[in-house]
Amino acid sequence: MRLTNLPVEFKKARPVLQRIEKAGYQAYFVGGSVRDTIIGVPIHDVDITSSAYPQEIKQLFPRTVDTGIKHGTVMVLYHGHGYEITTFRTESGYQDYRRPDHVTFVRSLPKDLKRRDFTINALAMRENGEVTDLFDGLGDIKRKVIKAVGNPDRRFHEDALRMMRAVRFASKLDFKIEPKTLEAIKKYSFLLTKIAIERVHSEFVKMMMGLKPRMGLDYMIETNLYRYVPEFKDQLDALKRISKIPHLKLTNECQVWSLISYEFGLNRHQINHLLRQWKSADKVIDDTITTTRTLRAIHDHKLTPIVIFKAGLTRLMDANHLAILLGFGDQDADLKKQFKQIPIARKNQLKINGGILIKGHILAPGPKLGQVINQLELMVINRQIPNQEPALLTAAKKLSK
């Protein structure tokens, strides 16, 4: 098979492959970029594999970075772009169920493709668009199937994260997992505990933001993978509820965790605990707590100006998106109108601050100062006083006593 009308990402990288080939080595585009181009999914970057060893690549290009030279990967800097080039290799010994203990560089493309996870990812393409398919990956793309390369037991025992990648690809591409591959995931699901949670976290969020997150969740439940991720083991009923939400579509990580937190029935402390277990970023935790609180307010018809102010427009829209999915949301336009009607949208819009209160000898630095500022905010939001400095100073004097 030969692909034509290749995406611009391939065209920009073509001279890199041509230079490698001109020096007598083989070079191919490989993996997800080839797969997605065949499927018709937009790509954002390309991976390159070559028979040239890392030192040979470095001799061919004046500007390189050793991004993973131990495993055969060198980044070539070419015309403002960075291209990671990995030497053909074989792998052996996976004591940590994630990374090989031994990597051997080889000159054989078939040996390299044989070590890859799924047939749809074991596709290599020359710079002219000619595709090498040794494991019927093209056929599996047509059949919309996720199938392990070779023995699925061996693939998952080598790298247990591949099990999460399988359900992620099923969600992303709307593909089914091939029966033998699925059985192997069921057999080795417990090995997921061997994988760093940061890696599992990345795959899970991508799965939930995929084309068919319900399918991904169903596979996690069917294979018992859900039992081996933090805080999910005792939440089977909630996970099943999520997997039954019609037209489930999540567009950011905050929506993912807010939906989970809402369906799990978590309070702010429990949300914090859950996301700390998943090694989430502090901002994600804060945004999830805010969005979940706002989602509950929408459900309970308690979306007050204070709640809207504390949410901010972005989190308000995230919460309403989830509320619509769950069947009790409002019109986005109505909520945006309510947001615009709040006297202040952000803390820094208050016409007074701590510095003014200190300078006017109304309050000294300390906890009381922050408490008064917060009270003034609430009074302005609830239209008890106008957002004007004279009125705020008068109110601050009363509150300071």
CA distance 280 to 129: 40
Asked if residue 107 belongs to a known ligand binding site, the reply is: no
Burial of 380 (0-12, 13-18, 19+ CB in 10 A): buried
Asked if residue 36 belongs to a known ligand binding site, the reply is: no
Pseudo-torsion of CA 376, 379, 385, 390, nearest 10°?
A: 0
CA distance 98 to 76: 26
Instruction: Report residue 71 CA to chain centroid gap.
Output: 25
Asked if residue 276 belongs to a known ligand binding site, the reply is: no
Pseudo-torsion of CA 143, 146, 149, 152, nearest 10°?
A: -130
For residue 56, give the amino acid letter: E
CA distance 293 to 165: 31
Instruction: Give which of 146, 121, 162, 147 is closest to 38, Cα–Cα.
Output: 121
CA distance 192 to 160: 6
Asked if residue 162 belongs to a known ligand binding site, the reply is: yes
Asked if residue 47 belongs to a known ligand binding site, the reply is: yes
DSSP 6-20: --HHHHHHHHHHHHH
Asked if residue 32 belongs to a known ligand binding site, the reply is: yes
Asked if residue 89 belongs to a known ligand binding site, the reply is: no
* Binding site as annotated, residues: 32, 35, 45, 47, 116, 159, 162, 165, 168
* Binding site as annotated, residues for ATP: 32, 35, 116, 159, 162, 165, 168
* Binding site as annotated, residues for CTP: 32, 35, 116, 159, 162, 165, 168
* Binding site as annotated, residues for Mg(2+): 45, 47
